[in-house]
Amino acid sequence: MPLTGIQIFKLLPKTNCKECGEPTCLAFAMKLATGKAELTLCPYISEEAKSQLAEAAAPPIRAVTIGVGDRALKVGGETVMFRHEKRFENPPAFAILISDTMDEAEIDRRLERFNQLQYERVGLTLRPELIAIKNESEDARQFAAVVTKVQQNSDGGIILMSSNPDVLAAGLKVCADRKPLIYAGTNDNLGPVADLAKEHSCPVAAKASGLEELSQLTTKLTEAGVNDIVLDSGARTVRQVFQDQVIIRNLALAKKFRPLGFPTIVFPGEMTSDPMKEAVIASMLVAKYGGIIVLSDFQGESLFPLLVERLNIYTDPQRPLATTQGIYEIGNPDENSPVLITTNFSLTYFIVSGEIESSKVPSYLLVMDTEGLSVMTAWAAGKFVADLMAPFIKKSGIEDKVKHRKLIIPGYSAAESGGLEEELPGWEIMVGPREGAHIPAYLKTWKP
C-alpha cells in the first residue's frame, strides 16, 4: 500500500530547511504522496528512510523501457491527469504494424516509411519509434524471419505480437538483445509468457477483456516477478477505449491502484478500416492517455499532424522550448556580413534563422538567453533590454568575427536602440523589421 502524506512526514528530517523548494517538510511529504515531488529533492533523508519511501516516491504509473541504447524508449511514468497540473512525462510512442503474412515488397515498403517519415521542427527530430510485428501465419519460423528482417533494416523498437508462447520465443531468439515488448500475456498463456519476460528481461503487455480481468493479470505478473508491464484492456471501440484510458489513469493516480499503474497500448486500426478515422482516434489517444499507439500503417499526411500534436501536448507548459545562447553562422558569413540579434525562444530562433537563410545573405545571428521568451515578451519582462544585451554582445566574440560595427535588432525592441548605442560605443544600432517574413527584403539592402 502506498504511504500517506503523514506517514511520509514521519520519515522526513522535520527541519523545514526549505532546500527541497517547499516551505516545510510536511508540504514536501504531501507532494511526495501525490507523486508531484521527487525524493531526490531532499538531500537529508537517511538511507533507511529512503528505502521505506521508495514505494511512495515511485510514480503512480510505472515508467517502462522498451529497446536499448540510443533508441531506448520510455513510456508511462505519468503523475498527473491534466498537463497544466505539472506536465506529461513520456510521450506516447507510435508503432507501425507489420504482419508476418505480408509479402516481402509490402514489408519493405513499411520499413522504408518507418525509416523515412522523420521531420525536423523547432530543432527536434519528430519520428515514430516502434515496429509491431504480428504473427498471423501461426508459423514460428516465418515470424522469426520477419523479425530478422525488421531487426536488420531498422533501428526502431520492436513489439512481438502473438498469443502463442512458442512463436514469441522464436521472435525473442532473434531480437531479445533489443529488449522488445512481448505482446501479450492473457488468461490462457500467462505463465509461459511471464517466464519468457523474466528469462529475457523484457517488458510484457497484459491483455484482458475488461479492467477487472486486467488487474488480475497484472497482479499475477507482479507476483511472478514481472514488473515492466503494459496494459491492453481489450477495448476495440472508440467509446470503450476512451473510457478505459481515463479510468486506468484515474485509478492509478487518484486511488494509487497499483495493478493498473502501468502505461497502456492501444490499436486505433482495430476500431475502424478508414485510415483518416484511425488518425482521428489516434489523436484522441495522444491526448487521453495512450502509452503506445499502434497504427495499421503510416502515411505522412496523418503521421506528421500526430507527431506535432504529441510534441505540443508533451512539452512542459512551464518551460518554453529554448535554443542555446551563442553566435549562429548562417550561409558561411565573413567579416563583412550582417549581424542580427534575437532571443532564444526556439520558435523565434527557427523563424528568424529560416528567413535569413531564405534571404541568401550570409549572416551572423546572435541568440541571447532570455529564458526561452520571445522578443516581445522578453522585452516587456526586462530580459531583452540594452543593459543585458550589451554585456552579452561584448562577451559573445562577435567583434572578432566582423570588421564593421553594425547590429540589427528586432523591430519589437526598437526602444532599446538608444540605450544600446550608449552601452556599445562605436556600434551603430539598426532597427530591423518587426516580422520575420520581412527579414529577406531588409537584408537585401545590407551594406557593411
List contacts with ligand SF4 (CB under 6 A): 12-13, 15-20, 22, 25, 28, 42, 44
Give me the least distance between CB of 19 and ligand SF4, in Å please: 4
Nearer to ligand SF4, 31 or 178 (CB): 31
Give me the least distance between CB of 40 and ligand SF4, in Å please: 10
Distance, CA of 446 to CA of 448 (rounded, Å): 7
In contact, 370 and 343? CB cutoff 8 Å: yes
CB atoms within 10 A of CB 113: 16
Nearer to ligand SF4, 38 or 334 (CB): 38
Q: Tell me the backbone φ, ψ of residue 409, rounded to 5 degrees.
A: -105, 155
52: which residues sit within 8 A by CB, 6+ positions away?
A: 3, 11
Nearer to ligand SF4, 44 or 326 (CB): 44
| Class of residue 169 by CB neighbours under 10 A (exposed 0-12, middle 13-18, buried 19+) | buried
Give me the least distance between CB of 394 and ligand SF4, in Å please: 39
Nearer to ligand SF4, 20 or 61 (CB): 20
CB atoms within 10 A of CB 335: 10
43: which residues sit within 8 A by CB, 6+ positions away?
A: 19
Supply 421's cell numbers.
548605442
| Class of residue 115 by CB neighbours under 10 A (exposed 0-12, middle 13-18, buried 19+) | middle
Nearer to ligand SF4, 38 or 188 (CB): 38
Distance, CA of 193 to CA of 262 (rounded, Å): 18
Nearer to ligand SF4, 12 or 282 (CB): 12
Give me the least distance between CB of 32 and ligand SF4, in Å please: 9
- Specify the pairing of strand 93-99 against strand 130-134: parallel
Give me the least distance between CB of 104 and ligand SF4, in Å please: 60
Give me the least distance between CB of 8 and ligand SF4, in Å please: 9
Nearer to ligand SF4, 42 or 229 (CB): 42
Give me the least distance between CB of 43 and ligand SF4, in Å please: 6
92: which residues sit within 8 A by CB, 6+ positions away?
A: 75, 285, 286, 290, 291, 292, 293, 310
